[in-house]
Structure 1
Amino acid sequence: MRTLTAQMSNTGRAWHLYIVLYGETEWPTFQWDRTAPVPTVAERRRALASLRYEVAPGAVWSWTEDSRDPDDDSTPVLLIAAVTVRAQDGGAA
């Protein structure tokens, strides 16, 4: 079964989880209408399931820092989480 990457980030108004589909203009997306707390692993699992995806066996969430302006280290840090996922049975991948 093909694997993909799910990412989660915070826009400053809400947390968004999305499945990265290269070459596509629209990606499956889920939104939590809050900035804190960070969605729990259980919440992320349920969000993925609502999109018909699941964390791939053995995969774990990883976090990285980004910035709206990489050339200015005084801008707020953006946290991005990522995990390898696969379509659930019958899901589109």
Structure 2
Amino acid sequence: MRRVDRLLLRVREAERLDAMQVSVCFVEPSGDKWRAIVDLWDGVEAPNGHTQRLILEAETEEEAVAAIEEVEAAHAPTGYRAKTLGSVIIVDDLPRD
């Protein structure tokens, strides 16, 4: 339960970044846990643009995807990007030898 609380705190922190929008999402195994990586972008092209990476830890792959969806809901696209229906979440679930 404490991990869920920490995930919620990170989501709330992300909500404060209202100018930022989700640009890319990854889910990958991290030991016996799953790591959700969300890159936020302010919509301004380089070199003046700003990005921020959120790294969330979850017990399962499904929890990691759910955490990404919560961040995405908090950072819904606006303007011409409002036509975008959800972000692509890349899941790296291939076993490593």
| Both proteins in one fold, TM over 0.5 | no
TM range (shorter): 0.3 to 0.5
Q: TM-score, normalised by structure 2?
A: 0.37
More strand by proportion, 1 or 2?
1
